Amino acid sequence: MAEFFRAGGFVMFFVLGFGALAIAAAVYFARAPDERRMSLVRGLSATTLFSLLSGVSTNVAAVFHNIPTHPEWLEDHSVAEVLLFGLSEALAPAILGFTLLALTWLVATVGVRRMPAV
């Protein structure tokens, strides 16, 4: 797990932090559902989404920048292998962020189910 977190880079702290806040907001909403609390879930979910997209973008840019500047990586592997390895690491923020968002909305669904019928 630590290797996965390290592979995603510094932005993983933001994705984890915003995702944890989104889950906490969903729990808060599920306990006493109302529209104001749901707006908090929506806002923190959007923040988590944008932080994970920023992280993936930053990581992909780093892969494309670093492959040409490290020719020693290509001594034992092809460009395609190095590129695929780099892109697999670059997707770590998306894996973490989308998992946290799925959990957020799973919990929020409980709150939606508990809201009074209108």
Predicted local distance difference test score (pLDDT) of residue 118: 63
pTM for this one?
0.90
Mean pLDDT of the residues in the chain: 94
Alpha carbons within 13 A on the beta-carbon side of 20: 6
Q: In the chain, where are the structural domains located?
A: 2-114
Structure tokens, 73:
């990586």
Residue scoring higher pLDDT (115 or 32)? 32
| 97 contacts: CB under 8 Å, gap ≥ 6 | 15, 19, 48, 49, 51, 52, 55
As a whole number, mean pLDDT of residues 43-66 equals: 96
